[in-house]
């Protein structure tokens, strides 16, 4: 078997197709409901999915994607006011700070801990060196496009990485969404 025909690669492609099928069905459902926020903010999770927030119709909206390869479905939750806390993240670099592969790079940023209606918590992280983020307008929102993306692309591939020069801006943008 070649490198591109391995069992792992075939499973990865099947997971991408399944995730894209779920995204298209979710986007079509949202279009039928008239869900059309002007702006939306995304943050990548450690499980390969994302959390997105927006303001629409005077409400705070939370969208949670399935994890990569997971059986969950996309979820949209609406709140009059979000219940959240913000925790700053600071992890000092160790060793040579990741230079030449020695030690660990430090991490700077913030996590927004969102308390959902069922009492569970979600962590929406904006941490340099840890995850990616995306803020988009309605016309360019890759989640809300009702047509299939070419090649079953994962939505998180559109996200920008967070680094020390952009993390403060990302946190300020997130605060605006949460504080309304």
Q: Would the pLDDT of 103 be above 60?
A: no
Rounded to whole angstroms, how far apart are CA atoms 100 and 167?
Answer: 23
Question: What percentage of the chain has pLDDT greater than the value 70?
Answer: 90
**Which residues touch 136 (CB under 8 Å, ≥6 apart)?**
39, 40, 42, 142
Domain that holds residue 126: 3-179
The encoded tokens of residue 102 equal 């020695």
Look at residue 107 in the predicted model and tell me its pLDDT: 83
Choice between 169 and 5, residue whose per-residue pLDDT is larger: 169
Look at residue 94 in the predicted model and tell me its pLDDT: 66
Query: Which one, of 65, 75, 73, 70, lies nearest residue 157 by Cα?
Result: 65
Specify the residue for token string 């591109």. 4
Beta carbons of 19 and 154 less than 8 angstroms apart:
yes
Average pLDDT over residues 7-22: 89
Specify the residue for token string 């090649």. 151
60-89 pLDDT per residue, tens: 999 999 988 888 999 999 999 999 999 998
18-22, 43-47, 90-94: least confidently modelled range? 90-94
Strand order in the sheet with 107-115: 83-91, 107-115, 121-127
Look at residue 48 in the predicted model and tell me its pLDDT: 86
Q: Would the pLDDT of 3 be above 80?
A: no
Provide the domain count of the chain.
1
Look at residue 79 in the predicted model and tell me its pLDDT: 96
Q: What are phi and psi of 76, to 5 degrees?
A: -120, 125
Average pLDDT over residues 114-143: 94
The model's pTM: 0.88
């Amino acid at each position: 078997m070649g490198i591109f025909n391995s069992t792992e690669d075939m499973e990865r492609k099947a997971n991408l197709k399944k995730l894209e099928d779920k995204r298209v069905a979710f986007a079509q459902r949202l279009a039928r409901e008239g869900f059309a926020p002007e702006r939306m903010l995304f943050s990548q999770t450690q499980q390969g999915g994302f959390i997105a927030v927006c303001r629409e119709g005077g409400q705070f909206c939370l969208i949670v994607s399935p994890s990569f390869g997971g059986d969950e479905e996309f979820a949209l939750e609406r709140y009059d006011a979000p219940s959240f806390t913000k925790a700053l993240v600071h992890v000092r670099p160790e060793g040579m700070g990741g230079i030449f592969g020695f030690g660990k790079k430090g991490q700077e940023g913030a996590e927004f801990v969102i308390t959902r209606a069922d009492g569970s918590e979600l962590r929406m992280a904006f941490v340099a060196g840890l995850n990616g983020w995306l803020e988009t307008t309605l016309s360019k929102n890759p989640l809300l496009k009702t047509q299939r993306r070419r090649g079953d692309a994962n939505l998180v591939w559109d996200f920008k990485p967070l680094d020390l020069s952009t993390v403060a801006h990302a946190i300020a943008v997130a605060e605006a969404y949460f504080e309304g």
